[in-house]
Amino acid sequence: MLDISHLTKTYGTVKAVDDLTLHIAPGEIYGFIGHNGAGKTTTLKACTGILGFDGGDITICGTSIKKDPIACKKQIAYIPDNPDMYEFMTGIKFLNFIADIFGVSKKDREERIAKYADHFELTPDLGQIVSAYSHGMKQKLAIIAAWIHDPKLIIMDEPFVGLDPMAAHKLKEMMREVCDAGGAIFFSTHVLEVAEKLCDKVAIIKDGRLIRSGTMDEVKGDSSLEDVFLELEE
Amino acid sequence: MLKALLKKQIAEIFQNILRSRKTGKTRTGAARIAAVIGFALILVGVLGGTFAFFAAGTISQLITVGAGWLYMIIFAGAAFIFGLFGSVFNTFSTLYQAKDNDLLLSMPIPSRVILTARLAAVYVMGLIYSSIVMIPAIIVYIVKARPGFGAAAGCFAFLIPLSLLILTFSCALGWVVAKLSAKLKNKSFFTVIIAVAFMALYYFLYFKAQGAIAALVQNGAVFASQIKESAYPVYAVGTAACGNPVSLLIVTAAVAAVLLLTCFIMSRGFIRTVTVSGGQTKKEYVKKELKTSSADGALFSKELKRFTSSPAYMLNAGTGTLFMIVAGVAVLIKGGELSASLVSQFGRGTVIAIASAALCFLVSTNFITAPSISLEGRSIWLPQSLPVSAWQVLRSKLAVHLAVTEIPALFCGICMWAVLRPSVAEGALLVTLPLVFGLFTAAFGLFVNLMRPNLNWISETAVIKQSLSAFLVMIADMILSIAFIVLWFILRLTSSDAVFYMLIWLVVFAACAGIFLALLKKKGPEVFRSL
């Protein structure tokens, strides 16, 4: 589904990501953890085509993001760590805009908006402009927008920040549903308990380099993920 | 605390001069000085020069009859209107709509300190605008009237009460707008109506003022004695403007008192006003049938919504649309009479060239694309991550500029055609030339903003009104449209040259538009992706 091969990205003389290789298969929830500034967001942004990179390649469903970014972007959805959306639009207009861009049929978009907005109890607020939304509401809107075109791969940067416990629980369910349907999830998080319970696989990045990856059991063994992470960070 | 806030506020105004958009780093000494000089040259050279020209033509008659103070009153009045016009639209957004209001209010900063820092920004804008009029007028006064060193210094000191008076009025108007806006649902629409009404008043005064000033200058002695007898405070302001220390002190004290009173009233409800979310009650969303459109259609609608949802954007970058519609109607109503006299004086071809230049000038006042990239702000990740090409995104910005500008330009051009009754070739050029010029301004504005974007703004005014890219595009477009007609007279062309002359400009504008469109298409996507 997602192949990151020898990804290298530099900012000036600083290597933000250094020769990173990861493979995310269909049906996997893949957690990406690391300290602040480790290179997580840079990697995620490179996977979505927002950020160019200096070395290596990223392919989504076999298509290189460098060679055909639009074909790749059609397959994915991205939720950044701070979803700044079009504040001048109402929630429903924003979702309809995203559906238009992805060419979602009228029937599908209406069904999905109704389903996910009800999931997150956002339906009554869809007529409000986005600038009036709280951080959590914006996060919920970004999640609905991400799910609206039924993507094969969903890339998320800290998706649980700002969500209430009920919404976080719903999101976990939705993530599992995507994977059960043959899709994949690649997301970063600092909440190690969530990663430990939710992820099939996990990758730990430090100073731009991948220091450990694999199934949860392979990475943490008998310890907790937190212990392993702290040990690797030292 | 206040010092830190003032530094932030001033840096926001001058960030294009203080910081390089290309590298994001603060400019070094030499680059900073060069940027300041360039900015000052445009302000002083272009606008200041125009006012100096008017001042030199007005002063002699008034000085001869001993009414130098009346001359200063005239220009102080002009500076007041110009300064108020320049800063009033800024006041509402700077004081009440700044994105960092919540952040600052959450800190242990008294609201009066936040208000003072915000007011400083408004004051600086008013001071700059009023100085553009007043400083050339003062220099002309000093050269012609030779008032002595003390009085000359007093003339410059008069800028203090004048700019404080502008600040007072800007604040009062901004406060009224904020109070009314807090109670209304459709704020953008309301703000635009208020601003358009204000602009209409401004232009009404401006056109009326020309006749009034001419009458004042011709009958300077009579008016001077009448004002002195029946409106002594006005005379006192005039003498203060001429550097009389006692008058200056009294005027300054009076203005300061009014300003303090205004600030006191404003500060009382400041927190409530900036934190109010609007008078509307929260309306629950009722499911409706959704309309679908293509990706291009969605991008266009989004851009158009961005434009119409921001009063500042509409008022600063889109007023040309209103001017063109008004001009078209005015031409239909009054144009026949005027065109007959102009045609008999200059010949039809010349009048058509003038009309075309005038329409190009109106087109140049629309610079919708110039801040459009910057306005993406922190939501730039959306068009970058969605499955649309960067060229599609850029094209949607061009399309909105063209839709908002070219339709009224076409309307105005057709009105001119109907009234001027040109030949087919002249008429076709009269209508086409402004349209092609509009295409050039759209492409040029977008290209400049793409090369010099500011995505980290706090108040959108910073990119719409105070950004170098918007300013450069507006000035360059205006200069081009003026050059079109100035060159006509410099070359001493006659009516028979109109078609050939306009055709050359059409080719020039089309070539320039083609170059910038090609640059946008070739380089644009790569630059857009790297933002």
A160-191: pLDDT as tens digits? 988 899 999 999 999 999 999 999 999 998 88
Q: Which two tokens stand for residue B140?
A: 């002309």
Q: Give me the sign of the Cα torsion angle B394, B395, B398, B403.
A: negative
The pLDDT of residue B56: 79
By the CB < 8 Å criterion, does B282 face chain A? yes
A61 in contact with B, Cβ within 8 Å: no
Instruction: Give the integer Cα–Cα distance in Å for B435 and B509.
Output: 10
Backbone angles phi, psi at B185, to 5 degrees: -85, -55
Residue B510 or residue A82, greater confidence: B510
Q: What are the chain A neighbours of B294 within 8 Å (beta carbons)?
A: 100, 103
Distance from CA of A51 to the nearest CA of B (A): 7
In order of A66, B120, B348, B487, the CA distances from B498 in angstroms are 52, 50, 9, 12
Chain B, residues 386-405, CB within 8 A of chain A, namely: 386-389
Closest residue, chain A, to B275 (C-alpha)? A132
- Of B242 and A234, which is predicted with more confidence? B242
**What distance, in Å, lies between the first and last C-alpha atoms of chain A?**
33
Rounded to an integer, what distance in angstroms lies between the CA atom of residue A109 and that of residue A96?
A: 8
Using a CB-CB cut-off of 8 Å, the residues of chain B touching A102 are 386-387
Q: By CA distance, what is A49's nearest residue in B?
A: B385
Residue A163 tokens, joined: 């969500």
* A196 confidence band (pLDDT: 50, 70, 90): confident
Torsion angle (degrees, nearest 10) of CA B88, B118, B73, B43: -80
Supply the pLDDT for residue B18.
64
Most A-contacting residue of B99, B277, B285, B289 (CB-CB within 10 A), to test interface: B285
Q: Would the CB atoms of B284 and A127 count as touching at under 8 Å?
A: yes
Residue A5, strand partner residues: A57
B295 touches chain A (CB under 8 A): yes
Residue A97 has pLDDT above 90, yes or no: yes
Q: Where are the alpha helices (DSSP H) in A49-180?
A: 69-75, 91-102, 106-119, 135-147, 165-180
ipTM for the complex shown: 0.87
Question: Looking at CA atoms only, how far is residue A64 from chain B in angstroms?
Answer: 14
**And the tokens for B459?**
């108040």
* Cβ-nearest to B290 among A80, A89, A106: A106
Kindly state whether B283 is in contact with chain A, defined as any CB-CB distance less than 8 angstroms: yes
A48 vs B: CB within 8 A: yes
The more confident residue out of A156 and B3 is: A156
- How many A/B residue pairs have CB atoms within 8 Å? 93
For residue A87, pLDDT over 80 is answered with yes
| Residue bearing tokens 């007898």 | B229
C-beta atoms of B388 and A102 within 8 A: no
Q: CB of B284 within 8 Å of any CB in chain A?
A: yes
Q: Nearest-CA residue of chain B relative to A86? A: B379
From the list A101, A110, A114, which residue is nearest B388 (CB)? A101
Per-residue pLDDT of chain B (531 residues; tens, 9 = 90+): 778 888 877 777 666 566 655 555 666 667 777 777 777 776 677 777 777 887 777 787 778 777 788 888 888 888 888 788 767 667 777 777 666 777 777 777 877 788 888 888 888 888 888 888 888 889 988 988 888 888 889 999 999 999 999 989 888 887 777 777 666 666 666 777 777 777 777 777 777 777 777 777 777 777 778 887 788 888 888 889 888 889 999 999 999 999 889 888 877 777 766 665 544 456 788 888 889 999 999 999 999 999 988 888 888 888 889 889 999 999 999 888 888 888 888 888 889 999 999 999 999 999 999 999 999 988 999 999 999 999 999 999 999 999 999 999 999 999 999 998 889 999 999 999 999 999 999 999 999 999 988 888 877 888 887 788 888 888 888 888 888 888 888 888 888 888 999 999 999 999 999 999 999 999 999 899 888
**How many residues appear in chain B?**
531
- pLDDT for B279 equals 45
CA distance A33 to A176: 19
The CB density around residue B163, as the number of other CB atoms within 10 Å, is: 25
Break chain A into its structural domains and give their ranges. 2-83+153-233
- List all residues 6 or more positions away from B405 whose beta carbon is below 8 Å from its beta carbon: B320, B321, B363, B366, B368, B438, B441, B442
Q: Which two tokens stand for residue B316?
A: 């600063």
B468 vs chain A: nearest CA distance in angstroms?
24
Q: Does A124 touch chain B (CB under 8 A)?
A: yes
CATH number assigned to the domain with residue range A2-83+153-233, chosen from the 4 options 3.40.190.290, 3.40.50.300, 3.30.300.30, 3.30.43.10? 3.40.50.300
Pick from B288, B379, B400 the residue to mutate for testing the A interface (most A CBs within 10 Å).
B379
Within 8 A of B293 by CB-CB distance, chain A residues are 100
Find, in chain A, the residue whose alpha carbon is nearest to that of B376.
A86
Map residue B161 onto helix, strand or coil: helix
> What was the pLDDT predicted at A220?
79
| A77: β partners | A154
Residues of A in contact with B284 (CB under 8 A): 124, 127
